[in-house]
């Protein structure tokens, strides 16, 4: 009898945990990914990306070639750095991103 109660209690606790986890907002993950993306490139930790930082990062990551190629367009205040707000505005102006393999 005790084993059955213990098993039932564990089952209820597991189901409650899964339900709570599933209800967490999904918007937090992309924002965290973007923060990590920016911090990874911002090697000197000054909160902005220099052309040198972007050039070095794009050598190891083909996806960053677009950032490198559009650096001057993204740097709207022309201070030779890209800050988080400029990058966010640029991404917003580009509309929804499509997957690289062409599927939606």
Give the pLDDT score at 53.
94
Domain residue extents for the chain:
32-94
Please work out, in degrees rounded to the nearest 5, the angle formed at the alpha carbon of residue 59 by the alpha carbons of 89 and 42: 50
Length of the chain: 104
The 8 Å CB, 24+ separation contacts for 56-60 are none
For 51-70, the pLDDT digits (tens) are: 999 999 988 788 888 899 99
Residue range 35-52, pLDDT digits in tens: 788 899 999 999 999 999
Q: CB of 75 within 8 A of CB of 83?
A: no
- The hierarchical CATH code for the domain 32-94 is 1.10.238.10
């Amino acid at each position: 009898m005790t084993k059955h109660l213990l098993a039932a209690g564990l089952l209820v606790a597991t189901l409650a945990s899964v339900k709570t986890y599933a209800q967490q907002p999904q918007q937090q993950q992309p924002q965290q990914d973007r923060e990590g993306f920016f911090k990874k490139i911002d090697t000197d930790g000054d909160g902005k990306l220099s052309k040198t930082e972007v050039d070095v990062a794009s050598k190891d990551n083909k996806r960053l070639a677009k950032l490198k190629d559009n650096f001057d367009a993204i740097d709207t205040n022309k201070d030779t750095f890209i800050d988080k707000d400029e990058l966010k505005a640029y991404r917003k102006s580009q509309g929804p991103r499509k997957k690289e393999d062409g599927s939606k």
